Chains A and B, each alone.
Chain A
Amino acid sequence: MKRLLIPILGLMPLFSMAGGFQVNLQGTKQTGMGHLGTSFSLGASSAYFNPAMMGLDSNKFNIEAGASFIFSSVAYQNQETGMSEFTDNPVGTPFYLYATYKVNEKLSAGLAVYTPFGSSIVWGDDWSGKYLIQDISLQAIYIQPTLSYKLTDKLSVGAGLDIVLGSVEINRAVGAPIGNDNTVNLQGNTTAYGFNAGVHYQATEKLSLGLTYRSQVDVELEEGDVDFSVDPSLESSFPDGKFSATLPLPATSTLGIAYRPSEKLLLSVEGSFVQWSEYESLDFDFENNTASLEDSENPRNYEDAIIIRVGGQYSYSSKLDLRVGAYYDQSPIQDDFFNPETPNTDNIGLTAGFTFNASDNLSIDVSYLQIIGLERDSEYEPANFGGKYKASSSIPGIGVNYKF
């Protein structure tokens, strides 16, 4: 599995868009049913979905890996000029890798590697919003050692440490008064830390509940690189150097309920609360300030957002599980602060998927997610740039599970 993943990682940018720059594609099985999975275990991916559930499976070892392929596009139309423009985003490839080990009946340990935040938006070098953003690539890889403990037969708890490898690269045009091709490249990377925790409660044989919390992680870039490419007459005004900036990855709380009316059928509903309101401003502190290059404060003023998910799984046969789901993912961005850097509309996700159980040990998951971004007419007021936005993503995913 590792040999397969590494070349993919090396070749492709990692991310795409979801709520804000959240990417909810952490399990192919769960994605197939609306990305539900807080209140019922579907294998090693519990390490992400609810660490309390790692010990619920009967196997000693569970290993699971997978990736999604995000084909996304955002359209922008300026209502005053009539011009329509489109992103040309690279294919995003969020991935995951989970391994869990049952130490004893009570205690389980696991390791999760996944990518819950990221963005890869390419508007192009010469579009009308180029002074706000030409392209952005943002990624956060979470590495999460996790423990799970069964308090009683019905009640389990779990928690993990999040080691976050974050990096960002931004290109945008510089609105200088001389020259028409002035640009700046900003990039940096850092390591940050957070945690997550979960509780799982098997109320009855048919009914289970799960609650998880994932802490906010502040990606603090201390030594980012600023590289200006400007008219020679402006070079002293826009010196290269370092910058610092902080990007918050918001805390997320999720409550899920699962119900099994029969052996074959699983139904679930979930609600997530994402604390985007922490993302107030994206501020760049430049090491070398000049009259033309002052530290820049860019208000974001995000609002907390919710995600509502419903979905189900049907065991068609011992070889085949079928899944379907849907969700509504609210944009955290206010109409006056909608920046094409993160063009996040309210999204509706429609999903389907299946698992093929090749043997007792090996199974293969396939999922498909269609995201329909609802049209919105919004403006980034500080830059006086706005218009209609519409988005769409098609996301096939594949996963492999091995247990013994």
Chain B
Amino acid sequence: MKTRKLLYILPLAALVACEPEFDDVDFNGGSADFTKTVAVGNSLTAGYQSGALSAEGQLNSLPAILAQQLKEVGGGDFNQPLLTGEQGSKGIGIVDTLLPKGEVATRFALKGTVDCLGEASIGPVRKGDPYSAVPFLTGMASVAADGPYNNQGIPGARLVDITNPAFVNPFFARLKTSLPATMLSMAMDLDATFFTFWIGNNDVLGYATTGGDEGSTGPNGMTDPNTFTMSYDAAIDSLTANGAKGVVANIPDITSIPFFTTVKWNALVLTQAQADFFNNYPLVQAYNAALDNPSVIAQFGMNGAAEAESRKLNFSAGANGFLMLDTDLSDAVTDTMGTPLPKFRQLKSGELITLSVPGDDIKCKGLGSADLSDPQNPVINPMTGNYILDLDEIQKIQNNIAAYNSTIKMAAMSHSLAHVDANSRLNQLASTGITIDGITYSSALVTGGAFSLDGVHPNTRGYAILANDFIDAINSTYSANVPKVSVASFSTIEVEQ
């Protein structure tokens, strides 16, 4: 009897062997109401990546990823002003460095390229044919009629632009609902219950990407920290006027983005023979000799001796600081004829070169040293300051960011808003890297896996990491449990044909 019972039970038990399972995680919005959200900001909110706004970038924008997660805890729809057709696939980018200002360009794609030396490699190349004639302001048709849009991120917008009805920008022009409308007024029109507000990057970025003081005219000047505080506090007062809750993010140290860290200050690699050639070249010897001349040093003023020393050119085998033409250096003449002393020096440790520096000119035209294509007749070819952030400029940028960030932190505290420390997150990415689900991301261009091909904006995974940071801040501030995204489920960069 017992035998027969066992014989029945054993195979039966094998069949019903219970699969392990879990209860669903309890997700909730805590004290926040995500019924209607609005995202106010710049390119980082719009979904800009690889040098342009494209439909794919918009669909993977930070607030779009966030909205998808908020839906799990009662969040509403998130309407975005998607680019369509050719503009949607090739992207629309504001070009302020590679092409004359006022033009738009296609996004960067990762493609095979051949450099001036004939070496093939994979690198960022603008996608497809350039737009033949898309004027800066009228190239994109208005989509205001299909609004209102929950994503009010406008690439290029500075904090000081969001209350300015005269703000000139093609992305803003296509959304603008009326002549007096501003970015902020349009965001207010949504009467949102929850907002994201991440702005201020462009208040320093334009200054930095154009080489600091050399390009600091007009909108490329940094916003004065006091102006920033007034504008920021006013914007937060407006956004919270109806009782809305929200999340704000601070400004990363833009000097650690790949746009400034990819081309190293001392990437001039010479053989001993090349170094000897430069050191013995008559123009270099004459320049160094002039810097030993007391009458020249006297013209430099108080710290003349130090300046003279810092300007001397000296090349050695291995890595050398690039040669630059530094207009900040003192004027001096070398003889009674009034022959001006050139303003040459070599780059110093800590100085940054922009990604916009023409790479082929470094490789084939001796940019940053001398063009030796005719060995009998070398041509000195220094880098100009619009590609370089010197230590003083870097300090100015970091001071402004620190001031902006203390304003942002104060505003978040006084209005009990969630606060994302994007600054320390980028520091972490740049120093130790960030490991998530078995992948370690760094701030390196392309190989780091988090930045897009422009070296300024995150790629899709970078935006997903940020979305999780926003969720962390929301969860801790509003006692919520909003589900996070699986970062690796988002696409990385693909090589395009």
Interface residues of A (CB under 8 A from B): 69, 71, 73-75, 77-84, 86, 128-132, 175-180, 231-233, 292, 316, 320, 322, 352, 354, 356, 366, 368, 370, 373, 382-385, 388, 390-394, 396
Contacts and interface: CB of A to CB of B under 8 A. Distances in A.
Contacts, number: 127
Nearest to A83: B486
Interface of B: 2-3, 6-7, 9-11, 13-14, 17-22, 24-25, 27, 72, 110, 122, 435-440, 446-449, 468, 483-486, 488-489, 491-495
Nearest to A79: B25
Given A388-B22, A392-B20, A178 B493 contact: yes
Contacts of A73: 17, 19-20
A368 B6 CA distance: 10
Contacts of B446: 177-178
A74 B494 CA distance: 33
Given A78-B486, A82-B24, A392 B19 contact: yes
Contacts of A352: 6, 10
Nearest to B435: A384
A384 B437 contact: yes
Given A178-B493, A178-B495, A179-B495, 16 more contacts: A73-B17, A75-B22, A78-B486, A80-B484, A131-B437, A176-B449, A176-B492, A178-B492, A322-B6, A366-B10, A368-B9, A385-B436, A390-B21, A391-B20, A392-B20, A394-B17
Contacts of A393: 17
Contacts of B6: 322, 352, 354, 366
A126 to B, nearest CB: 9
A128 B438 CA distance: 9
B486 A128 contact: yes
A389 to B, nearest CB: 9
A383 B495 contact: no
Nearest to A84: B22
Contacts of B494: 178-180, 231
A320 B9 CA distance: 17
Given A77-B25, A368-B13, A388-B22, A233 B122 contact: yes
Instruction: From B2, B20, B21, B22, name the one whose CB has the most chain A CB atoms within 10 angstroms.
Output: B20
Contacts of B122: 178, 233
Contacts of A129: 437-438
A74 B20 contact: yes
B22 A390 contact: yes
Contact of B19 (A86, A385, A388, A396): A86
A75 B19 CA distance: 8
Nearest to B490: A180
A354 B18 CA distance: 23
Instruction: From A80, A292, A373, name the one whose CB has the most chain B CB atoms within 10 angstroms.
Output: A80
B438 A385 contact: yes
A290 to B, nearest CB: 12
Contact of B13 (A69, A370, A382, A383): A370
A82 B468 CA distance: 13
A81 B21 contact: no
A131 B488 contact: yes
